[in-house]
């Protein structure tokens, strides 16, 4: 722990009331995470460059869950960064985005009516808009985990952000976004296989993306075909997201944490799930050991089979489930 580290309490709009590691400087608390390499959270105050001002507080009680309180977005994104840091550390032994023990930083309240969030390798930071009307912030846990995971992909496989490798890059961020939710297991954000289900980006309460059947969003693909590399990476991610759901939970109808899913297979054959704990280990090892910048869907199949062989043994039931899940999205057989 850093000198001066404190345990504050925050109430986010999406995270609920959560502990926050903060730092006491003189008589002012700073949103600087002394337990996670000093990750800093800034208020851009609707600006679009630099770092704005560090979030500070005089009593270490942050935000109130309402969007009108400026600290609330800071709580959600600081918690998201902490939960994602902890996920990579606890589950994979990874020490930060680049595995070098160095913290990124977060910037909330970017621009005006900015309906996005993004990771940047050049600042080594995450940035969050306040959404439409500056009243729909994109600050939920899965959004933070998605963006931070772009940093992990960039530091490992380096999947090029176009064509099939771009779809795999996006899917990697969605996969770890879901996995971080399951690891954090927040009462206020029940873990699911959706992305962006809390931020109401569509205005009707629906998620941004669905992993059990990606076509539920109206645009994403459920399965691979030869045209996949020609579409936007946020839609060509669909088949890989679907693969990960099938590998984790299996095909058909299922309820997880009270959420109903119904996952189809393109070959009509069933897939038996191996659990998200095993599936995430396979995807992470494939990403960090076997995938490269130009890996396509066929290459991702090979990479995950190699990873499964390393972790569980070749031709074990777990290994065969990986093969079945790829066949279910029309990759290999
Ligand atoms: N929020 C988007 C994403 O992480 C930003 C982008 O289009 N790269 O995918
Ligand atoms: Zn992304």
Distance 77 CA to ligand 1 centre (A): 16
Query: Quick check: 107 pLDDT over 90?
Result: yes
60: tokens are: 């270490």
pLDDT in tens, 93-104: 999 999 999 999
Alpha-carbon distance 288 to 301, whole Å?
14
Q: Which residue has the tokens 């925050």?
A: 10
CA 19 – CA 78 distance, rounded (Å): 10
Query: How far, in Å, CA of 40 to CA of 109, rounded?
Result: 14
Q: How confident is the model at residue 2 (pLDDT cuts 50, 70, 90)?
A: low
DSSP state of 26: T
- Predicted pLDDT of residue 4: 81
- Over residues 219-239, the pLDDT tens digits come to 999 999 999 999 999 999 999
The phi and psi torsions of 30 (rounded to 5 degrees) equal -120, 145
Ligand 1 atom 6, closest CA: 118
**Domains detected in the chain:** 5-155 (3.10.170.10), 163-327 (1.10.390.10)
What is the pLDDT, as a whole number, of residue 272? Answer: 98
Query: 296 CB contacts (<8 Å, ≥6 apart)?
Result: 163, 164, 165, 168, 229
pLDDT tens string 152-211: 999 999 999 999 999 999 999 999 999 999 999 999 999 999 999 999 999 999 999 999
Tell me how far the alpha carbon of residue 148 lies from the centroid of ligand 2, in angstroms. Answer: 9
Phi (first) and psi of residue 261, to 5 degrees: -125, 160
Q: How far apart are the first and last CA of the chain?
A: 50
Mean pLDDT of 6-24: 97
Best residue for ligand 1 mutational test, from 84, 110, 115, 119 (most atoms within 8 Å of Cβ): 119
Residue with tokens 């074990």: 316
- pLDDT grade for 1, boundaries at 50, 70 and 90: low
Centre of ligand 2 from the C-alpha of residue 57, in Å: 32
256: nearest Cα among 215, 220, 223, 212:
212
What is the 8-class DSSP label of residue 274? Answer: -
Q: Say whether pLDDT at 333 is over 90.
A: no
Residue 160: what pLDDT? 99
Ligand 1 atom with the smallest distance to the CA of 146 is 4
Contact (CB, 8 A) for 289 and 307: yes
Residue 40: strand pairing partners: 32, 105
Beta strand ranges found along 4-100 (DSSP E)? 5-11, 17-25, 28-30, 32-33, 39-43, 53-54, 56-57, 61-62
Q: Are 48 and 111 within 8 A, CB to CB?
A: yes
Asked about 147 being catalytic, the answer comes back as: yes
Distance from C-alpha of 89 to C-alpha of 134, rounded to nearest angstrom: 34
Q: Which residues neighbour 315 within 8 Å (Cβ) at sequence distance 6 or greater?
A: none
Pick the atom of ligand 1 nearest to 170's CA.
9
The CA distance from 110 to 147, in Å, is 15
């Amino acid at each position: 722990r850093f000198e001066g580290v404190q345990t504050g309490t925050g109430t986010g709009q999406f995270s609920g009331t959560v502990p926050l590691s903060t730092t006491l400087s003189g008589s002012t608390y700073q949103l600087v995470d002394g337990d996670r390499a000093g990750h800093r959270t800034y208020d851009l105050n609707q600006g679009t460059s630099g770092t704005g001002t560090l979030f500070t507080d005089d009593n270490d009680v942050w935000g109130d869950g309402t969007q009108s309180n400026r600290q609330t977005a800071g709580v959600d994104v600081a918690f998201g960064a902490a939960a994602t840091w902890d996920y990579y550390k606890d589950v994979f032994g990874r020490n930060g985005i680049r595995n070098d023990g160095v913290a990124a930083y977060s910037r909330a309240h970017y621009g005006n009516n900015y309906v996005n969030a993004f990771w940047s390798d050049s600042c080594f930071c995450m940035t969050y808009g306040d959404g439409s009307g500056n009243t729909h912030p994109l600050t939920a846990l899965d959004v933070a985990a998605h963006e931070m995971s772009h940093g992990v992909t960039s530091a490992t496989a380096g999947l090029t952000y176009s064509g099939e490798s771009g779809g795999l890059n996006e899917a990697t961020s969605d996969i770890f976004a879901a996995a971080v939710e399951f690891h954090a297991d927040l009462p206020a954000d029940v873990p699911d296989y959706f992305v962006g289900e809390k931020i109401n980006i569509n205005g009707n309460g629906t998620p941004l993306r669905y992993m059990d059947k990606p076509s539920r969003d109206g645009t994403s693909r459920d399965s691979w075909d030869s045209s996949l590399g020609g579409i936007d990476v946020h839609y060509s991610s669909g088949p890989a997201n679907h693969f990960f759901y099938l590998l984790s939970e299996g095909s058909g109808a299922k309820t997880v944490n009270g959420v109903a899913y119904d996952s189809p297979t393109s070959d009509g054959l069933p897939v038996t799930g191996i659990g998200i704990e095993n599936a995430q280990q396979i995807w992470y090892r494939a990403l960090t050991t076997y995938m490269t910048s130009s890996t396509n869907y066929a290459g991702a199949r090979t990479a995950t089979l190699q990873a499964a062989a390393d972790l569980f043994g070749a031709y074990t039931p777990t290994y065969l489930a990986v093969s079945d899940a790829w066949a279910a999205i029309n990759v290999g057989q």
